[in-house]
Amino acid sequence: MMKDIRAHWIQLKAEYENRYKESFLEDFERSKDYLEQMKEYLLSKLKDHPSDVDAICTLASVKLELREGDTEYIKLLEDFLDRFSNEVDDKQVARIYTNIAFIEDYSRRALDYLTKAKDLKSPYVETYKALGLYYFPDYDFSKEKKNIERSNEFFKHARELEDSYESNINYGASLYALGEYQEAKKIFEKLITVYPDRMWLKLCIAYCDVALSNKTTAISYLENIKIGSDDNYDLNTDDIMEYQVFDAYYALEEYDRFLRYCTEEVDNEYYTVDWEHLYYVLWISGKRDRFTRLEEKNRKYLEGAIADAIVDTEYDSEKEKQETIESWEEDKRDFEEMISRIKNKQLRPEMELKLYPEYSCYMVDCVRHKF
């Protein structure tokens, strides 16, 4: 069935692109008629083969593209399982569970569905990729080792199922998060032989070398990284931000190089209230004028935020208002303490360089990404 479904999709896609000279799904209003045609085709297939998993999963994805809503998507698949649970094998149930989990967006319900899919010995790489992403640590809020280990385990399994670029960078990111810098570096170095100009890989190797105290090698990679989006690739991780480079120079204590990238334009483009490492470098480098301008700019911003919070009338309750005001006041106190700490003690703030996996679609039957 899937062969016929894909062939019909490819035919509609070709018709659209020949007519509009743009990628299918790029414009919703123009794509809508073709999606409706695909929907009717799938409904006709289901009329003749009501328990066909290929048709129901593709239909769910098409209805999502038609903006019929997450609730409708989940209901369609759950109702299908209720009706045909005795006719569908474990492999296909795991497929449907993984598809439902995608819509649940890393919630507890998503984890429940993914765990069920895993317990059914899902053969789909998407199941284990999603579990790896679910457990990957949020550096800002949680970094429990057990979760990093779980993430690493699932990314490793995904890589065993599919030795793709994405599976490898995800596995490498989890090794890096575990502190296995040499093993992570091996993964990235192998990939860069295939993708020699991929900026994300250069950054990953540089970060590993920073952690391994290979300063010269780290700098050689950093100097060859192009900031911005990579025209040759389109993953989220292929977009390199300035701070990802200049933070590495800070970690290497290369402060002149740090300031070469972290220019005064950065002060205006980023939220720098809590960038203690920037204040530190400006202070010890004698860049007092820029330090003062940044200090005054951020102090004014915080004072304004507190004033706005006090006069705002859009709160749901008095409690919410007080909590918002207190939060901004706490940020202001932290800011003043940071400035005082830099000026009086000049203690060097620590810098943790962070690598992330590719957070991308893991719907098994996504017509946008898999067809």
The rounded distance, in Å, linking the Cα atoms of 276 and 349 is 7
Distance of CA 194 to the CA centre of its chain: 23
How high is the pLDDT of residue 369? 93
355 by Cβ neighbours in 10 Å (0-12 / 13-18 / 19+) ranks as buried
The rounded distance, in Å, linking the Cα atoms of 290 and 282 is 7
Report the candidate in 335, 278, 276 with the shortest Cα–Cα distance to residue 301.
335
Q: Which helix (H) or strand (E) holds 335?
A: helix 318-344
Q: Are 54 and 5 in contact (CB under 8 A)?
A: yes
Which of 51-65, 133-147, 276-290, 315-329 is the least confident region? 133-147
Tokens of 128: 């284990």
pLDDT tens digits, residue range 13-23? 999 999 999 99
Amino acid occupying residue 307: A
How high is the pLDDT of residue 37? 97
For range 45-68, the mean pLDDT: 96
**Would you say residue 284 has pLDDT above 80?**
yes
Secondary-structure percent of the chain, ordered helix, strand, coil, rounded to 5: 70, 0, 30
Tokens of 338: 């940071």
SS3 240: strand
Residue 228 β-bridge partners: 240
Angle between helices 288-311 and 276-284 in degrees, nearest 10: 150
SS3 228: strand
Instruction: Give the whole-number percent of the chain exceeding pLDDT 70.
Output: 98
Tokens of 235: 């993953």
**Would you say residue 142 has pLDDT above 70?**
no
pLDDT tens digits, residue range 160-187? 999 999 999 999 999 999 999 999 999 9
The sign of the torsion formed by the CA atoms of 34, 36, 41, 45 equals positive
How high is the pLDDT of residue 345? 82
pLDDT tens digits, residue range 221-257? 999 999 998 888 989 999 999 999 999 999 999 999 9
Place 140 in a pLDDT band, splitting at 50, 70 and 90: low
* Cβ-proximal residues to 228 (8 Å cutoff; 6+ apart), any chain: 239, 240
The rounded distance, in Å, linking the Cα atoms of 253 and 247 is 10
Q: Are 206 and 213 in contact (CB under 8 A)?
A: no
How high is the pLDDT of residue 141? 58
The residue whose two tokens read 């996996």 is 357
Place 106 in a pLDDT band, splitting at 50, 70 and 90: confident
pTM (2 d.p.):
0.89
What is the rounded average pLDDT for all residues in the chain? 95
How high is the pLDDT of residue 234? 87
**Would you say residue 143 has pLDDT above 80?**
no
Residue 240 β-bridge partners: 228
DSSP 53-105: HHHHHHHHHHHHHTT--HHHHHHHHHHHHHHHTTTS-HHHHHHHHHHHHHHHT
For range 43-62, the mean pLDDT: 96
